Amino acid sequence: DAGVTQSPTHLIKTRGQQVTLRCSPKSGHDTVSWYQQALGQGPQFIFQYYEEEERQRGNFPDRFSGHQFPNYSSELNVNALLLGDSALYLCASSPGQILAKNIQYFGAGTRLSVL
Amino acid sequence: GQQVMQIPQYQHVQEGEDFTTYCNSSTTLSNIQWYKQRPGGHPVFLIQLVKSGEVKKQKRLTFQFGEAKKNSSLHITATQTTDVGTYFCAGPGAGSYQLTFGKGTKLSVIP
């Protein structure tokens, strides 16, 4: 049973560029959430996708956008990269129909470095 | 917005000593979750507490949820080197799918 998979594992970009990160949820899960984790900090919620729609969004600018596909996989896009966007980007899936069951199963993450 | 605070930020213990981390939310939580992140790894779900005053045990780990559902604790008895990592608590706001994580407590165990 495959867990949450993310690609790529590492990425180096320069300021102003755009990046796309990908995520496949755990088998049987239909909800995908994205988090940003800066060094020494806890994961910060970016947004959550369910039924191909953004269901909830955290306090991140519009430069951060996403998409969910019919097979439940998801992409995170970040435009106009800033140095401060350097972080570990974590994707998490959950069987999200029930609010109380919003347990997050995390992937290994994508380490993004912006130079 | 909702804030989740954890103390201490760091804890160094001798192997065999006990360890406790505390979590406090600015708002009442419908449930609280605990995660462990090993160095260089990703957060892994440990447990979810739902009821006021709930206590759950996993081997040497004891988790508590406060009566007011705004605070929680994780206690590890007789730490081992395998316990090394950062422990995060996380909770959703009322009616929210957004999980707010604390900054975590980083545990180091000295053999």
pLDDT in tens, A56-79: 999 999 999 999 999 999 999 999
| pLDDT tens sequence across B29-54 | 989 999 999 999 999 999 999 999 99
Q: Chain B window 90-109: which residues touch A at a Cβ cutoff of 8 Å? A: 90, 92, 95-104
Residue B62: the pLDDT is 98
Q: Which two tokens stand for residue B69?
A: 């559902």
Residues B63 and A68: beta-carbon distance below 8 Å: no
SS3 (DSSP) at A42:
coil
Give the residue numbers in A contacting B (CB under 8 Å), as ranges.
33, 35, 40-45, 48, 55-56, 58-59, 90, 96, 99-100, 102-109
Residue A100: the pLDDT is 59
* Residue B77 Cα, gap to closest chain A Cα (Å): 24
What's the CA gap between A54 and A68, in Å, rounded? Answer: 8
Mean pLDDT, to the nearest integer, of B96-100? Answer: 88
Residue A2: which pLDDT band, with cuts at 50, 70 and 90?
confident
CB pairs under 8 A between A and B: 60
Residue B55: the pLDDT is 98
Residue A99 has pLDDT above 60, yes or no: no
SS3 (DSSP) at B15:
coil
Residue B6: the pLDDT is 98
Residue A98: the pLDDT is 62
Residue A1 has pLDDT above 70, yes or no: no
DSSP state of A97: T
Residue A93 has pLDDT above 60, yes or no: yes
| HSE (side-chain half, CA atoms, 13 Å) at A93 | 24
Q: Higher-confidence residue: A98 or B31?
A: B31
Q: Which residue of A has its CA nearest to B42?
A: A108
Angstrom distances, CA of residue B9 to CA of A57, B4, B106: 27, 13, 6
Q: For residue B98, which residues of chain A lie inside 8 Å, CB to CB?
A: 45, 48, 56, 58
Residue A21: the pLDDT is 98
Neighbours of B95 (CB within 10 A): 7
Residue A101 has pLDDT above 70, yes or no: no
Neighbours of A84 (CB within 10 A): 8
Chain A interface disruption, residue of B98, B100, B105, B106, most A CBs within 10 A: B98
Residue A66: the pLDDT is 97
What's the CA gap between A8 and A101, in Å, rounded? Answer: 28
Q: Which residue of B has its CA nearest to A38?
A: B103
Give the DSSP H/E element, type plus range, for residue B97.
Answer: none
CB burial class (10 A; 0-12, 13-18, 19+) of residue B96?
A: middle
